[in-house]
């Protein structure tokens, strides 16, 4: 199975900050990497698919990039509604594993 290692596990930041979350795959997954936002009590929300493609309706302050087996989610300027948990997920081969998540908290 492909292991997805996400870092950091938690992060404190302020409104307006630029934030980066990293996900590393245990083997090559090409660009089959997706990012989700999850607010407790709500359904998770797809942000980025194919490593860098912004899902329709998602604000442009969210972006994704890739370098080999390392993937990055960047939020350019944090907004109050962005404080949530974020997960990467590989869609290269089943089981389509998630990273362990990053909890983004208000500083």
Q: Which residues bind another protein (CB under 8 A)?
A: 1, 32, 34, 36, 38, 42-46, 49-50, 55, 85, 87, 89, 91, 94-101
| C-beta closer to another protein: residue 63 or 100 | 100
Do the beta carbons of residue 25 and residue 42 sit within 8 Å? no
Which residue bears the tokens 């362990």?
A: 100
Least separation in angstroms between CB 43 and another protein: 4
Shortest distance, position 5 Cβ to another protein, whole Å:
12
The answer for residues whose C-beta is within 8 angstroms of residue 53's C-beta and 6 or more apart is 64
Q: Are 88 and 4 in contact (CB under 8 A)?
A: yes
Q: How many helices (H) and strands (E) does the chain have?
A: 0, 10
Q: Which is nearer to another protein, 74 or 100 (CB)?
A: 100
**Least separation in angstroms between CB 78 and another protein:** 21
Please name every residue paired with 4 in a beta bridge, in sequence order, or none if there are none. 25
- Residue 17 or 46: which CB sits closer to another protein? 46
């Amino acid at each position: 199975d492909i292991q997805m290692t996400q870092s950091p596990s938690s992060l404190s930041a302020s409104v307006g900050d630029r934030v980066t979350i990293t996900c590393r795959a245990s083997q090559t997954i090409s660009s089959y990497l997706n990012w989700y936002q999850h607010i407790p009590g709500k359904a998770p929300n797809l942000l980025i698919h194919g490593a860098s493609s912004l899902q329709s309706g998602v604000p442009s302050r969210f972006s994704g990039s890739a370098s080999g087996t390392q993937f990055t989610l960047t939020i350019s300027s944090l907004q109050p509604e962005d404080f949530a948990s974020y997960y990467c997920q590989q869609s290269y081969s089943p089981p389509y594993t998630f990273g362990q998540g990053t909890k983004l908290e208000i500083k």
